[in-house]
Amino acid sequence: NMLYDVNRIREDFPILKQIVHGKPLVYLDNAATTQKPLQVLKELEKYYYTMNANIHRGVHALSQEATEAYESSRIKIKKFINALGKNEIIFTRGTTESINLVAQTYGRKNFNEGDEIIISHMEHHSNIVPWQMICEERKAKLRVIPIDEKGELVFEEFEKMLNEKTKFVSIVYASNSLGTVNPVKKIIDLAHSFNVPVLLDAAQAVNHLKIDVQKLDCDFLAFSGHKLYGPTGIGILYGKVNHLDSMPPYQGGGDMISKVTFEKTLYNELPYKFEAGTPNIAGAIGLGAAIDYAEKIGLEKIARHENELLKYATEKISELKGLRIIGTSKNKISVLSFVLENVHPHDVGTFLDFEGVAIRTGHHCTQPLMDRYGIPATSRASFGMYNTFDEVDVLVNGLKKILEVFG
Ligand code: PMP
């Protein structure tokens, strides 16, 4: 059941050929960050070799070329998530900055004493702390949708939580620790029936699920380029134009203005109002190249390949005695979290590293979620488009060895 030739794809990722501790690298830490194909690296190189200049306002050739490349990447991203206009696509440093932007602008303007902001128990710290900060400042209250043992939201609790005090809902589309894909369309529709806007943290969703912001009807959507085979330091905030128009700027500086005097500054139009200072030009161009690359292979094919890896890995590790999977929803992205009895996740990670296997161990920036399960940490394997079934076997054999030694 070849969806595509994985070995051919692996040729595009030179880093995967590395030897680690004398073993071939098995990179299973894709939820933390994905590797970058040659097509992205070449685009970054081309930019710095032939095009590097500051963008917007430059009349010289290089500046115009760089501006053109930067703005055409914005259009690619607009199409990629099916936004209505390119003015709804704001370049940021990543998911974290995108969420902070909304909390600090929309939140500061609209949240008041006694208002309620809803998140869930499975949020990444970057979708908790920014809301805590603005709630403290505006004396609003943070409310948390509980999750069940499988790692799914308890939807009835969300229904009960919504009321006339609710001012915002911010929810992870797919959990980085559990893999759970949340019923975001249902959440959005219900929130909208209370006139409450919804932000989706799509950091883990963009490279696994086809996203159509118009169909979803989300108000905001945040993601990072580096989890989508693009560079670090670049990300996206999508926002509906009516929201973005009514929000004050996030940071002040160059590019976000239309006219500055000491008495008053007039702000630039969207999306530039939210892009103060020289942006990550190369990063934006690299992200465009990453999207081209993923779309050429086909997002749906990639998702199916990853799902098969997840299914295979889940079956294999379920056979291991003394191993418990954390996050057992039927609807998951290719994230596999687990704990071993008697072995600390940190030791699992260290042991596997000696086998050449890169996984993540720790709380995955979801400490409240770890508390919910009464564990300090998990071991997490996460699969990308270039991973193979053989690599899953290497992981499983490594785990077997650990259980023999420590079990
Ligand atoms: N949300 C989720 C669900 C994530 O997985 C991550 C990255 N681990 C983030 C937010 C934060 O993304 P970044 O660090 O790229 O800003």
**What is the rounded average pLDDT for all residues in the chain?**
97
Q: What is the mean pLDDT of residues 152-172?
A: 98
Q: Is the CB of 120 under 6 A from ligand 1?
A: no
**Tens of pLDDT, residues 289-328:** 999 999 999 999 999 999 999 999 999 999 999 999 999 9
Is residue 382 lining ligand 1, measured as CB closer than 6 Å? no
Q: Is the CB of 128 under 6 A from ligand 1?
A: no
- The pLDDT score that the predictor gives to residue 58 is 84
Q: Is 339 helix (H, G, I), strand (E, B) or coil?
A: strand
Expressed in angstroms and rounded, the spacing between residue 204 Cα and the centre of ligand 1 is 7
Per residue in 50-86, pLDDT (tens digit) is 999 999 988 999 999 999 999 999 999 999 999 999 9
Residue 103 has pLDDT above 70, yes or no: yes
Average pLDDT over residues 84-109: 98
Residue 1 has a pLDDT of 52
DSSP letters, 150-183, are TS-B-HHHHHHH-STTEEEEEEESB-TTT-BBP-
**Which residue type sits at 187?**
I
Q: DSSP string of 169-238?
A: EEEESB-TTT-BBP-HHHHHHHHHHTT--EEEE-TTTTTTS---HHHHT-SEEEEEGGGGTS-TT-EEEE
Ligand 1 site, residue 30, Cβ cutoff 6 A: no
Relative to the CA of 96, which ligand 1 atom is closest?
16
Based on the residue annotation, tell me whether 218 is a catalytic residue of this protein: no
Q: pTM for the full model?
A: 0.98
Residue 395 identity (one-letter amino acid): L
Number of Cβ within a 10 Å radius of residue 18? 11
Tens of pLDDT, residue by residue over 179-229, are 999 999 999 999 999 999 999 999 999 999 999 999 999 999 999 999 999
Which tens digits make up the pLDDT trace of 234-244?
999 999 999 99
333 C-alpha to center of ligand 1: Å?
15
